[in-house]
Amino acid sequence: MTAALPPTEQRWALDLAVNDLVRGEAAWAACDRAKRRKLLEQMQAATAEAAEAWVRAAVAYKRLPDDSPLIGEEWITGPYPVLTSLGALAASITALEKSRSPVDGFSFGQAPGGRVTVRVLPHSIWDHLLLNGFSAEVWMPPGVTKDEVRERAGLALLRPADSGGVGVVLGAGNITSIPILDVLYELYAHNRVVALKLNPVTDGLLDVFNRVLAPLIDLGAVRILTGGADVGGYLVHHPKVRHVHMTGSAATHDAIVFGTGTEGAARKEAGTSLLDKPVTSELGGVSPTIVLPGGWSEADLRYQAEHIATQKLHNNGYNCVASQVVVVSSDWAQKDRFLAHLRAALADAPARPAYYPGSDDRVARALDTYGGDAERIGTGRVLITGLDPAEPGPALTTEHFAPVLAVLELPGDTRQFLAEAVRTANEKFAGTLGANLIAHPGTMAVLGRALEEAIAELRYGTVALNAWTGVGYLTATAPWGAFPGHSLDDVQSGIGVVHNALLLDGPERTVVRGPFHPAPRALLHGKTTLSPKPPWFVTNRTAATTGRLLADFAAAPRWSALPRIFASALRG
């Protein structure tokens, strides 16, 4: 099937934009590192100035009430990660300008399988204070040495005059920072000027994005375009475009790369792409949350149930890395009590509109597929239990991209269960973007090295222990993307990485860790973590205020801003 073409006048406008970018290649290639760093600083100022309008536009299309704490999500996943990424990229360029590596000053370590690791969080004093108790490491593939990591960090900025041509970025419609971060990575990691085609859902952000990217637009290195699938199709097939990057679903990816219908299926089977250029992607999948059995208090059960409800209901489930299946041990003595808390957490989370296209249909399909095992909770939410491990159905193979959560029970004590849960996640779940593990500190102590080995065995681009993999998305210096090794005809959760402000060459995964107990309750368990309930929790009462304050701080880090942030966070 041949994709429909845009109207003639629109094609002329698209050709004009691409031709502008062809000329912009030379302008970008002529920008030395100092100029590129200056552009980042200008965009940081523009983002700070546009942040309020940015959040208002996001709130409008997501139809959130003006007084909702959920507005905090738009601050924390909109301006905030863009501001932190701009700063981190500028720091990497500064290092290169001084003939140093971007990873100089970061701690190196070792992970199972002979992997070198780079500790990217915490790094600054601000990280230690604002994300106390959270950490993130980048694991390199087995065999890569520390010296190789240092020498290769910088990617295209090691050779800024080498043009990567014109690239197309097909922007996401769910998380508003994604289009901007993808554009930055194309330019700074690959030396590609960019035609950013917005998802129609985010057209209301066009003015904001024009303001944020104005320094690059004025240079001729970026053009922002709107329209439907016909516009996207025209751009990706344009003869002057040398690369395509997209965010979305595997089904959308395959439609773009191979076409639709029986002809598209045949091309995919044959591995015959419709495109004559490379395609990278960040796609979704079915993310598991593996809950290890242990001796938990009622407060632990309640808090971790809220944690998992957040992993599912953040942005109403319209996240590529939203948890979709909770994996628990059928032999865990506290299983039923935990599931009761999980139902309560799903029911008590604030209601919100199903703004993303097709959400209600996907919820309806889940209800029809699982019948009596699918339980309606609150408004538009579904909890599926009673999955047959031998025949679990589409819960493990189809991304719902909606507020639908399933529970899969597997037998065994802690060690047996962990081994089977890892095997199931690797072999039966669609996608490799993110996997979550939740374990009591006592359980972690008993497992010891076996837990680290299990993390190493999980074939996911981000693995989070007692944290949500979304924290990896928010960490500017961490790579974000699928586990490496996928191909166009078996794309899973995508090809390549984004974010990665240290510009590491060929990272394997990011491993995020967080506190099992929040402050101040952590003190009762001998832990000194300062982190209370995180502001991204859907149950956080002050998320909107804390999110705004964090974005303001990211624009201009300073000691005087910390008391208000801490006070708001503690009230959450």
pLDDT tens per residue across span 302-355: 999 999 999 999 999 999 999 999 999 999 999 999 999 999 999 999 999 999
Alpha-carbon span 476 to 88, nearest angstrom: 7
Q: Residues 226-251: what's their mean pLDDT?
A: 96
Between 114-118, 125-129, 241-245, the lowest mean confidence (pLDDT) is in 125-129
**Mean pLDDT value of segment 272-299:** 96
User: What does pTM read for this prediction?
Assistant: 0.96
Report the phi/psi class of residue 359: left, alpha or beta, with left for phi > 0 and alpha for psi in -120 to 50. alpha
Of the CA atoms within 13 Å of residue 26, those in its CB half-sphere come to 4
The CA distance from 220 to 224, in Å, is: 11
Extract the tokens encoding 548.
Answer: 């705004």
Q: What is the mean pLDDT of residues 453-479?
A: 98
pLDDT in tens, 315-328: 999 999 999 999 99
Residues in the chain: 572
Is it true that 8-102+153-248+250-283 and 287-525 share their CATH fold? no
| Lookup: tokens for 367 | 């209800």
Strands, E, within 249-350: which ranges? 279-283, 287-291, 323-329
Q: Dig out the tokens for 246 from the structure.
A: 């997209």
pLDDT of residue 522: 67
User: Given a cut of 90, is residue 521 above it in pLDDT?
Assistant: no
Show me where the domains of the chain are located. Answer: 8-102+153-248+250-283, 287-525
Mean pLDDT of the chain: 96
| Interatomic CA distance for residues 357 and 335, integer angstroms | 35
Place of tokens 């200008």: 42
Q: What is the mean pLDDT of residues 505-529?
A: 86
Best CATH choice for the domain 8-102+153-248+250-283 from the list 3.40.605.10, 3.40.50.2300, 3.10.20.30, 1.10.290.10: 3.40.605.10
Mean pLDDT of 461-486: 98
Q: How confident is the model at residue 1 (pLDDT cuts 50, 70, 90)?
A: very low
Rounded to an integer, what distance in angstroms lies between the CA atom of residue 432 and that of residue 444? 24
Class level of CATH domain 287-525:
alpha beta
Q: pLDDT (tens digit, 9 = 90+) per residue, 86-126?
A: 999 999 999 999 999 999 999 999 999 999 999 999 999 99
**Residue 145 near residue 139, CB atoms below 8 Å:** no
Q: Please measure the distance between the N-terminal and C-terminal CA atoms of the chain and give it in whole angstroms.
A: 52
Residue 140 has pLDDT above 50, yes or no: yes
**Which tens digit of pLDDT belongs to each residue from 151-172?**
999 999 999 999 999 999 999 9
Judged on CB neighbours under 10 Å (0-12, 13-18, 19+), 150 is middle
